[in-house]
A and B are shown apart, each in its own frame.
Chain A
Amino acid sequence: MTVEISPIVLLNTERGEPEAAELWDAITDAQLADWEAEWVPETFKAVQKLHRRGVERHQWPQSRHWDWRAKVAELKGLLGAQGFSIMCGGMTQGMMTLDMGSKRCLLESQRGQHLIYVDYVENAPWNRKDLVNTEPRYCGVGSIFIRTAIEVSRLEGFKGRIGLHSLPQSESFYRNKCGMTDLGKDSNYQDLRYFEMTPEQALIFVMKGGSL
């Protein structure tokens, strides 16, 4: 498998300065090994801390059950699926899968048009404010993935249109930071809120600085 690697930058919050990172247009065994050996135990420890602090179960991160190895295996060989990962400091900092073939826009102004659907996106546990009680180690992973989805959308001829269902802890990010339109809870998708981005919103997001 040929993997295209693009240079990007994440903010190292400990040092307070940008750090060179890489965007991979794949999720390989290297990322899955990081997930299994580093992410899963860290997530487990973080959930244990939430539990001990008395945080109720429904407030624990819902992505704690995600099995990235199974997700990647499911998508293998499909033309309409694409995985991405972000590497920094010798470690996987985020993973994302895109559905490029089976979803259409729901927003009235672009109903029925093609879009890139962000199937799954996850930050490493040490980068998540909802999991760690301290500053995230790296900032920028979520924005870079949204920017990547927009770029894929443009390359496919979808003009930057993207869509996704958000876990409750990420709704504010998609609504406020990404400027996506909130179409409300989707009863066909675990009652998660569905967000969509128009070409105009994509342009604004990119102009604000979501560059690759």
Chain B
Amino acid sequence: MTLNLTEAEMKVLEDLSVKKDLSKTSLIRQALRLYQLVEVRVERGDKLFFEDDKTKEKAEVMLL
């Protein structure tokens, strides 16, 4: 398949590939796994939070 990305999306993909020391294919594969995992957990009724490591403050990520 061909993946069509905008210039901005391509830039993010390239930057993350460098930062994570991964190929673009590996990075997209990881993104898909994470997306599926989040979807499964949210469908199950779980919530997704980000927690500030210092203040322990939690912010829920709203997924509609």
A interface residues, Cβ below 8 angstroms from B = 78-80, 100-102, 112-114, 156-159
Contact B34 A80, beta carbon cutoff 8 Å: yes
The residue that B26 contacts in the complex, of A78, A102, A112, A156, with Cβ under 8 A, is A156
Specify the main secondary structure of chain B where it touches its partner.
Answer: helix
Residues of A within 8 A of B18 (CB): none
What per-residue 1/0 map shows which CB atoms of B4-35 lie under 8 Å from chain A? 00000000000000001111001001101110
State A105–B47 Cα separation when bound (angstroms). Answer: 24
The answer, yes or no, to whether B40 is at the interface (CB within 8 Å) is: yes
Contact B30 A159, beta carbon cutoff 8 Å: no
CB proximity of A124 to chain B, nearest CB, Å: 30
**A78-B40, A113-B21, A159-B21 given; A100·B26 CB < 8 A:** no
Contact B26 A157, beta carbon cutoff 8 Å: yes
Which residue of the partner chain B has the closest CB to A102? B37
Contact B33 A157, beta carbon cutoff 8 Å: no
- Chain B interface category by residue count: 10 to 19
Which residue of the partner chain B has the closest CB to A100? B33
Residues of B within 8 A of A102 (CB): 33-34, 37
Which residue of the partner chain A has the closest CB to B27? A157
Contact B36 A157, beta carbon cutoff 8 Å: no
The residue that A101 contacts in the complex, of B21, B23, B30, with Cβ under 8 A, is B30
17 example contacts (A-B, Cβ-Cβ < 8 A) are as follows A78-B36, A78-B40, A79-B29, A80-B34, A80-B36, A80-B37, A100-B33, A101-B30, A101-B33, A102-B33, A102-B34, A102-B37, A112-B20, A113-B20, A114-B30, A156-B29, A157-B23
Residues of A within 8 A of B21 (CB): 113, 157, 159
The residue that B20 contacts in the complex, of A79, A80, A100, A114, with Cβ under 8 A, is A114
CB proximity of A152 to chain B, nearest CB, Å: 12
State A157–B25 Cα separation when bound (angstroms). Answer: 9
Residues of A within 8 A of B29 (CB): 79, 156
Residues of A within 8 A of B32 (CB): 79
Which residue of the partner chain A has the closest CB to B23? A157
Residues of A within 8 A of B30 (CB): 101, 114
CB proximity of A162 to chain B, nearest CB, Å: 15
Residues of A within 8 A of B26 (CB): 114, 156-157
State A12–B22 Cα separation when bound (angstroms). Answer: 40
Supply 10 further A-B pairs (C-beta < 8 A) apart from A78-B33, A79-B29, A101-B37.
A78-B40, A79-B32, A100-B33, A102-B33, A113-B20, A113-B21, A114-B20, A157-B21, A157-B22, A157-B26
CB proximity of B36 to chain A, nearest CB, Å: 5
